[in-house]
Amino acid sequence: MPIGDPKDEYKEVSANMRQYGNMRFAQLTLFIAMTGGLLAALFTSNPPLSSLARFLLKIGGLIITVVFWIMEERAVDYWYHFRRRAVDLEKQLGYQQYLTGPERSIVTATNAVRVLYLFMFLFWVVTLILHTRF
């Protein structure tokens, strides 16, 4: 059975990393747009929305936040999977694009997005608890 060329796999792994990076950006953009639409509907309705409509919009915001957060975590998992594979391939090929990347720390784009999702999750929970004010 023939073994594939590590160079070809390296190109595919790099393309997969780009795809997941772009997907994360697109998902975040869509999340912000949807959340903005919900907030606009919730806070700028004229005439004011009924209690049921406000409750359903808040539940919708909570659900959208959880769904996009899950999608983000899965995309991150795949991105790191492909990065680990790229590092393995670089060792074989003598490359150092991913092998010598910056050290991981707590200050990352991934953690910043996690904080955003956590904040939005808590925001929707608070609006549901304090339903008379929001």
Mapped to the 3 state alphabet, what secondary structure does 33-101 carry? HHHHHHHHHHHCCCCCCCHHHHHHHHHHHHHHHHHHHHHHHHHHHHHHHHHHHHHHHHHHHCCCCCCCC
Instruction: Give the number of domains in the chain.
Output: 1
**Could you tell me if residue 90 is inside a domain?**
yes
**Could you tell me if residue 81 is inside a domain?**
yes
pTM for the complete prediction? 0.90
Q: Is 128 exposed, middle or buried (0-12, 13-18, 19+ CB in 10 A)?
A: middle
**Could you tell me if residue 84 is inside a domain?**
yes
Residue (of 23, 24, 110, 27) closest to 64 by Cα position? 27
Q: How far apart are the C-alpha atoms of 70 and 56, rounded to whole Å?
A: 21
**Could you tell me if residue 1 is inside a domain?**
no
**Could you tell me if residue 23 is inside a domain?**
yes
Domain residues for the domain of 115 are 6-129
Q: How far apart are the C-alpha atoms of 38 and 63, rounded to whole Å?
A: 12
**Could you tell me if residue 88 is inside a domain?**
yes
Residue showing tokens 């720390």: 105
**Could you tell me if residue 134 is inside a domain?**
no
**Per-residue confidence of the chain (134 residues) as pLDDT tens digits?**
457 899 999 999 999 999 999 999 999 999 999 999 999 999 887 888 898 999 999 999 999 999 999 999 999 999 999 999 999 999 999 999 998 888 888 999 999 999 999 999 999 999 999 876 66
**Could you tell me if residue 57 is inside a domain?**
yes
